[in-house]
């Protein structure tokens, strides 16, 4: 990748240099041609004026013998005088790239002319006054004769030195560009290579691997990529830890009743059980615990796969909450916890599945009883949006870092309850799935009061929720 980036940068630099050089070369040549034409025309005009012989202000002829002396100070490559006599005969050799027609036209018009031909520029300037041959007596005037100064020069100066200088400059620029491209490619790809190495380690199972933290000079995109990789790795590492914790918890919850069932069954079989009826009752209780755990696992699987149905009816939420709380009273008394119900909804109704909502309240209450010290309260409120149920306890509360995750499927709080039940961290995950299916929301707040504890609040809408889009069988709400 580094090589491709370096080649791309270098190729771009070379292409830009070539385009800039070509454009500069064309501009220089065009400008040089125009300047060469102006120079030759100006010098032929100046020479024509200098050759004229004047009597005061009146031109009376010209001195061709001045040509060689005056031409020495001019910068014209090919310069001569052409004479067209009264019989329209032309005397003199035309410079290169000058056509006879151009000379005769300038003589007839008695005006200067210039142009370009065959890579050269030319100029023609008539001399004021009639032509006087060098061997004629002084000041004789030969009517009808015209003398013209004709010169030509290369259209552009030689380009070899310019091209050579440009080649050297281009070579130095390319070498410098290659060095810069390599350094830039290395600086760009170094964090990418490190990120690639980190993701490779993550892919092989090393979830502790992290991409280098971006520095102040790191490009924004690469910095965002590094942070995303680190966030992903942290989430995967946490998920692995939580999954391990979940498996340990489930294994413990499965082993405990199985151990009890096996022990009492062996005691009955050996005749060592003092009371077979009591032993059978214990076996039945432990079997129910196993059934509850397996049922929770299956229930959560169906909820996450959206393979369940809801039958929504409009009910008063307060009486349902009170009924669930009454069912939990015996268990709460055995734990020394008081359960209080406060219905402030004044008969407010919500469109929900009563059985599923009862399951939600039971799970929330069971979770609160695990952590409560003396009291659990259930408060039902209503407003224009809907009905809410808040279940709070006076336990130790949930750590701030755990609070956003308590509704996750494998979550187990860092504060372990003093009294273990048959659950294994699935109850709140089931609550979240059921409430989402009924179009509501659930949130946690800790501490619930100045004394501590945790409050879990369920908000229910007065309208039925649309079935969540998903593959397979989706939950349906029928009113």
Could you tell me if 343 and 424 lie in one domain?
yes
3-state secondary structure 27-52: HHHHHHHHHHHHHHHHHHHHHHHHHE
CA distances from 395 to 271, 298, 430, 447, 456 (A): 44, 30, 22, 9, 13
Q: How far is 104 from 110, CA to CA, in rounded Å?
A: 10
Nearest to 377 by CA among 475, 447, 448: 448
Q: Tokens standing for 49?
A: 């004026």
In a domain, 177, yes or no: no
In a domain, 417, yes or no: yes
In a domain, 167, yes or no: no
At 456, which CATH number? Answer: 3.30.565.10
* Residue 142 DSSP SS3: strand
Could you tell me if 222 and 337 lie in one domain?
no
Could you tell me if 9 and 101 lie in one domain?
yes
Asked if 212 contacts 32 with a C-beta cutoff of 8 angstroms, the reply is no
**Count of structural domains within the chain:** 3
Could you tell me if 293 and 332 lie in one domain?
no
In a domain, 86, yes or no: yes
At 249, which CATH number? Answer: 1.10.287.130
Q: How far is 60 from 53, CA to CA, in rounded Å?
A: 6
439: phi > 0 → left, psi -120 to 50 → alpha, else beta; which? left
In a domain, 168, yes or no: no
In a domain, 400, yes or no: yes
Could you tell me if 36 and 119 lie in one domain?
yes
Picking from 304, 338, 364, the residue at the C-terminal end of a domain is 304
Residue with tokens 């190729």: 11
Asked if 401 contacts 384 with a C-beta cutoff of 8 angstroms, the reply is no
Alpha helix segments (H runs only) across 204-342: 220-270, 276-304, 317-327, 329-335
pLDDT tens sequence across 196-229: 788 888 888 888 888 877 777 677 777 888 888 8
Could you tell me if 293 and 336 lie in one domain?
no
Picking from 99, 133, 157, the residue at the C-terminal end of a domain is 157
Picking from 265, 285, 304, the residue at the C-terminal end of a domain is 304
Q: How far is 153 from 121, CA to CA, in rounded Å?
A: 6
Could you tell me if 285 and 320 lie in one domain?
no
Could you tell me if 369 and 450 lie in one domain?
yes
In a domain, 322, yes or no: yes
Q: Tokens standing for 170?
A: 């281009």
pLDDT tens across the length of the chain (479 residues): 556 666 776 777 777 777 777 777 777 677 777 888 888 888 788 777 777 655 555 554 555 555 555 555 566 777 777 888 777 788 878 888 888 888 888 888 888 888 888 888 888 888 866 555 544 444 444 456 777 888 888 876 655 566 667 777 777 877 887 777 777 777 777 777 778 788 888 888 888 888 877 777 677 777 888 888 888 888 888 777 767 766 766 676 677 678 878 887 888 888 777 777 877 887 887 787 677 777 777 766 666 666 667 788 899 999 999 998 988 888 888 889 999 999 998 888 999 988 889 888 988 998 898 888 999 999 999 988 889 999 999 888 888 777 877 887 656 554 444 443 434 457 788 888 889 888 899 998 877 566 678 899 999 987 544 444 443 444 444 33
Task: Using a cut of 0.75, tell me whether the model's pTM lies above it.
Answer: no
Could you tell me if 229 and 349 lie in one domain?
no
Could you tell me if 368 and 441 lie in one domain?
yes
Could you tell me if 321 and 295 lie in one domain?
no
354 preceded by a cis bond (ω within 30 of 0): no
Q: In what order do the strands lie in the sheet with 78-84?
A: 90-91, 78-84, 146-154, 120-126, 113-117
For 358, the domain range is 313-461
In a domain, 126, yes or no: yes
Could you tell me if 290 and 355 lie in one domain?
no
């Amino acid at each position: 990748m580094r090589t491709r980036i370096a080649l791309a940068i270098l190729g771009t630099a070379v292409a830009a240099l070539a385009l800039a050089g070509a454009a500069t070369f064309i501009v220089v040549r065009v400008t040089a041609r125009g300047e060469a034409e102006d120079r030759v025309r100006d010098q032929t005009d100046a020479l024509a004026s200098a050759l004229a012989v004047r009597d005061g202000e009146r031109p009376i002829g010209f001195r061709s013998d001045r040509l060689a002396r005056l031409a020495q100070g001019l910068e014209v490559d090919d310069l001569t005088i052409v004479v067209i006599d009264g019989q329209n005969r032309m005397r003199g050799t035309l410079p290169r790239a000058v056509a006879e027609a151009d000379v005769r036209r300038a003589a007839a018009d008695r005006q200067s002319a210039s142009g370009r031909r065959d890579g050269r520029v030319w100029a023609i300037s008539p001399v004021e006054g009639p032509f006087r041959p060098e061997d004629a007596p002084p000041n004789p005037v030969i009517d009808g004769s015209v003398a013209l100064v004709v010169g030509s020069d290369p259209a552009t100066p030689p380009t070899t030195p310019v091209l050579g200088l440009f080649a050297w400059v281009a070579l130095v620029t390319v070498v410098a560009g290659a060095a810069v491209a390599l350094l830039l490619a290395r600086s760009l790809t170094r964090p990418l290579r490190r990120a690639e190495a980190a993701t490779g380690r993550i892919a092989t199972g090393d979830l502790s691997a992290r991409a280098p933290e971006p520095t102040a000079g790191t490009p924004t995109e690469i910095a965002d990529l590094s942070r995303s990789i680190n966030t992903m790795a942290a989430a995967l590492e946490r998920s692995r830890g939580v999954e391990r914790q979940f498996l340990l918890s489930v294994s413990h919850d499965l082993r405990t009743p199985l151990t009890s069932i096996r022990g009492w069954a062996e005691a009955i079989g050996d005749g060592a059980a003092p009371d077979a009826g009591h032993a059978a009752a214990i076996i039945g209780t432990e079997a129910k615990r196993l059934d509850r755990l397996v049922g929770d696992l299956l229930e959560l699987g169906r909820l996450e796969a959206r393979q369940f149905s809801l039958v929504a009816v409009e009910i008063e939420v307060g009486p349902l909450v009170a009924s669930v709380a009454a069912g939990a009273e015996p268990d709460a008394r055995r734990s020394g916890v008081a359960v209080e119900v406060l219905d402030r909804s004044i008969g407010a109704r919500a469109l929900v599945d009563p059985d599923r909502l009862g399951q939600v309240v039971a799970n929330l209450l069971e979770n609160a009883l695990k952590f409560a010290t003396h009291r659990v309260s259930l408060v039902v409120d209503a407003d224009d949006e809907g009905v809410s149920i808040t279940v709070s306890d006076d336990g130790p509360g949930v750590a701030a870092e755990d609070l956003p995750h308590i509704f996750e499927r494998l979550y187990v709080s860092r504060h372990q309850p003093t009294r273990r039940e048959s659950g294994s961290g699935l109850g709140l995950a089931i609550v979240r799935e059921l409430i989402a299916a009924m179009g509501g929301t659930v949130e946690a707040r800790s501490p619930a009061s100045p004394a501590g504890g945790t409050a879990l609040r369920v908000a229910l809408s007065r309208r039925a929720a649309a079935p969540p889009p998903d593959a397979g069988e989706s939950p349906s709400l029928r009113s």
